[in-house]
Amino acid sequence: MTAVPRPMPTEAAILRFLEVCDSFYPPDAVSASIEQQRQWYDALCRHFDLPLPEGMRTEDRVVMNRIPIRRYRPATLRTATCLLYLHGGGFVVGSLESHHAICAEIAEEAGAELISVDYRLAPEHRWPAQTDDCFAVLKQLIAAGKTVVLIGDSAGGNLAAGLAVRAKEEELTGIVGQVLIYPALGGDLVSGSYQEMAEAPGLTTADVGYYRAILQAPSDDPVAAPLVQASCAGLPPAFITVANFDPLRDDGRNYAARLAQAGVEVWFREEPQMVHAWLRARHMSDGAHEGFKALCDAVSRFAGSN
């Protein structure tokens, strides 16, 4: 039986990016202990860290006596809308530090205050701890009179989409947009990109299954798996960006289609040469740089600062 070739991009900078990632975070990382995975991931994130934009101020706080957050405030504010960022990492790794530079740059580009949430991680805390933490922060912002743009990458994209669903269910208003970056939205793991990109670099379908098993979220709950909701009508406008070389690609594709069919304003962008987690390549890859600019433009449009 002939082996199926591993799907790989051809952009030279992305290939170099993958080599760097593999040197810090091995392709078989999920077979290691949780502690080791977090050490590897933290080292990878530190490697790609950059100085914050000039004049950017940050403040760490604890919300409701239990949820750490980090507030980013650029030197020039162009909107009163707040950005709520939920980091990726499979619900297992990631922190305020892992996405520090990414959050600062988005806040700077949008001219908006941004709040990053250090939600509880699995396996120490199973679902719905993660969405509960993020929803508590969202409700506090809206109670303070803020309008909010939800932003999340990968697992954070799942959380952001789920918060929009929760807000609709609870008739909570104030979300003016959702920006979902290669989000995990509850696809079936066996068809479409889950099959075509099962062995994609950076994230495999087996990896996605591993993270789901650890989180233990119900597959039939639309907050945990937004693709299963009966109707997407009434959700806030969305910008969804996916990577071609990613088993999660069709989650974003299909969700964009569902939103559009329900009459929700949606912008969809697919990066043809990108892999999962390409945000970290934004300063070394032309494709990632262009994708990041489009993402920031969408955030600015939703926040009313463009």
Burial of 106 (0-12, 13-18, 19+ CB in 10 A): buried
Give catalytic status of residue 100 as yes or no. Answer: no
CA distances from 268 to 91, 179, 226 (A): 24, 10, 17
Query: Please, what is the end-to-end C-alpha distance for the chain in angstroms?
Result: 54
Q: How far is CA 205 from the centre of its chain?
A: 17
Residue type, 77: L
Rounded Cα gap, residues 231 and 233, in angstroms: 5
Give catalytic status of residue 231 as yes or no. Answer: no
Q: Phi/psi at 99 (nearest 5 deg)?
A: -115, 25
- Active-site position among 87, 99, 100, 276: 276
- Active-site position among 153, 207, 246, 251: 246
- ∠ CA 132-222-166, rounded to 5°: 45
Sign of the Cα torsion 107, 42, 245, 179 reads negative
Residue 108 DSSP SS3: helix
- Active-site position among 95, 98, 154, 285: 154
Rounded Cα gap, residues 68 and 151, in angstroms: 17
Give catalytic status of residue 220 as yes or no. Answer: no
Residues designated catalytic: 154, 246, 276
